Structure 1
Amino acid sequence: MLRYILFAFSGIVSFNSICTAQELRAVNRMAVSGAVIHLNEAPGAGVAWIKDKQFDKGTIEFDIKGKNVLQQSFVGFAFHGVNDSTYDAIYFRPFNFQVPEAGRRSHSVQYISLPSYDWQLLREKYPGKYENEIDSSTDPNKWFHVKIVVTDDEASAYVNGKRCLTVALLGTQKTGMVGYWVGNGSSGDWKNLKIY
């Protein structure tokens, strides 16, 4: 049993080392890689794919930071990427975390499956099903911890240990690339990525 525990621990350390020394391929962004991954602000959505990483199901964890600026902070993570325009993503709108209006707070976390299911279509056809609010004590200008759990047909998101969204996956792809994602006009920062 001890041998198994040591082997498992060794594997986790090794994988985390790979995550901190990752090579990125940025799309519509400049990416700075190091202990903190940074994507700059630019028009349109952007993603920095992690080279040579494929993901089908499991858990993705990271710390993330956006900013409390209306319509200028969409930060998250993409998975099941087939190419630069076909992928699933879960992202956050920090500028909605602590607003008094319940309607805006309910747009704090969002699932999308591109190209067919962008946020506008999902909000119009399925209001409240693919987005939700998060714990309003989450500071929109500070780091917060995210865990995304993906199964064969579902994805759940947790912020600082509290589940905030569970959705049925809409994309037909079940495996693919993973990467750091930002929305239109947004920059973002990530650290401590773990995928298992």
Structure 2
Amino acid sequence: MNCKIIIGSIILAFLLGSTSAFCQQHTVSYDLSKLLSAHQLSISNREAAVLPNHEKNGIMLSANDDDGVALINDVTFSNGIIELDIRGKDVYQKSFLGVAFHAEDAKTLDAVYFRPFNFLTTDSVRHIHMVQYISHPQFPWFVLRDKFNAQYEKAITSPPDPNQWFHIRIEIKYPQVTAFINGQKTPCLSIKQLSDRKSGKLGLWVGDSSDGAFANLKVTFF
């Protein structure tokens, strides 16, 4: 990674979070509520607000038609580890939320997201649709489900309460993407990216008609 990009990320982290840095690898913890207050999030098709009572120093993205994204300004991500806490809800087709990465803009991005409303389902089809990888604009979920059924979306072993916070860890070493939940050793999703974008913007993602809460974002840059 270009050291100028790393230095820029470090300066931003000192202003808005905390960092442990090396030119080869460094970790940045982002306070999302401070990023929002400092106008360091580029938000598309959503409203954002600090969580009530500064819960977890996180933010909430509102619901709206179509997808929404909040990209972090002046941060470029290539390979590394993305960790954060997220909270959706157990409302059918109203809770899609996760992380966008290697993004050019709100419409051109890769993402890993979760469907909490499927976490406790007894329906055998919905059961395997708990976590999803997408690559927009070429490979939205419905194209992947039609052409590569069950390859880019999976069930989760011991899924969490769909109405409570859960922790996600997404490891990216292009083109490999591996996702873990709540400290589990076995990944809930492991795929190879379909896009040829090896770096780009990083942010929070919500799907059609969905809101979502996000907090405790920590990124390790390789």
State TM-score, norm by structure 1: 0.90
Residues 31 and 217 in structure 2, CA contact (< 8 A), matched pair in contact too: no
- Percent identity over the alignment is 41
Q: Which residue of 2 aligns with 1:179?
A: 203
Correspondence 1:167 to 2:176: no
Instruction: Please give the root-mean-square deviation of Cα atoms over the aligned residues, in Å.
Output: 1.9
SS at match of 1:16: strand
Pair 14,93 (structure 1): closer, same or farther in 2 beyond 3 Å: closer
2:157 maps to 1:140: no
CA distance in 2, matches of 1:50, 1:59: 16
Shift of 1:66: 0.2
Match of residue 129 from structure 1: 151
Which of 6, 11, 30 pairs up with 2:20? 11
Quote the residue 1:195 is aligned against.
219
SS of the residue 2:93 aligns to: coil
CA distance in 2, matches of 1:88, 1:10: 25
Residue 150 (structure 1) aligned to one of 151, 162, 172: 172
Count of matched residue pairs? 188
Gaps of 5+ in 2: 1-17
SS at match of 2:83: strand
Matched, 1:58 2:71: no
CA gap of 1:10–1:178, structure 2 versus 1, over 3 A, is: closer
Q: For 2:34, give the aligned amino acid.
A: A
CA distance in 1, matches of 2:203, 2:78: 13
Q: Residue 134 of structure 1: CA displacement?
A: 0.9
Contact 1:97/1:135 (<8 A) preserved: no
CA contact (8 A) 2:27 2:219 kept: no
Measure how far apart 1:21 and its partner are: 2.8
Aligned counterparts, 1:2-151, within 5 A: 11=20, 15-16=28-29, 21-22=34-35, 23-33=40-50, 35-151=57-173
* 1:98–1:136 CA contact under 8 A, matched in 2: no
- Please tell me whether the aligned partners of residues 155 and 166 of structure 1 are also in contact (alpha carbons under 8 angstroms): yes
Matched position secondary structure for 1:55? coil
Q: Is the 8 A contact 1:76 1:180 kept in 2?
A: yes
Tell me the TM-score normalized by structure 2.
0.80
**Deviation >4 Å, runs of 4+:** 17-20
Instruction: Quickly say closer, same or farther: Cα 1:172–1:98, change in 2 above 3 A.
Output: same
Alpha-carbon shift at residue 105 of structure 1 (Å): 1.1
